[in-house]
Amino acid sequence: MNVRDAGGGQRRTSIAGVGAFPNCPAYCASKGGLENLTKALAAELGRLNVNVNSLAPGNVATPLNAHLRGPGNEEYIRMMRTMTPTGRDFLSVDEMTGAAVFLACDDASAIHGATLMVDAGWSAWWTDLAARPLAPTMSDL
């Protein structure tokens, strides 16, 4: 590739790329792979002034998980709220927009190979989860 001042690229990873969840090893592995792909591309393309970063959302409310937010899933929602220091369960898609715009703008030109966690604090707290009682898995609900 022979490009100068090409700008940047972003990957959408997940909190599952930096921590694992039961019952979804393929998802966690694929997101972890994207985390390392981001770093490898940043290492390769940085000298060409291309910054490559990733955005790792937490639990975002989408049509795909609408069934988890509905009536009858109060236990799951409670569990999600206990897994972030902010007590949030689902984030909005709109909350990802500012972070994505920031990574794409000139203000982020010195950021290479990084993952911006937009997760209501989950990643700041997830290492403590091992010391807590085991949270129910999706198969328990």
Distance in angstroms (rounded) separating the CA atoms of residues 94 and 87: 19
**Residue 76 appears among annotated catalytic residues:** no
Distance in angstroms (rounded) separating the CA atoms of residues 29 and 3: 31
Identify the CA nearest to 57 among candidates 104, 126, 117: 117
**Beta-sheet strand order (sheet of 50-57):** 7-12, 50-57, 115-118
The identity of residue 98, as a single letter, is G
Q: Which of 19, 20, 21, 27 is catalytic?
A: 27
Residue 78 dihedral angles phi and psi, to the nearest 5°:
-60, -45
Q: Which residues are catalytic?
A: 27
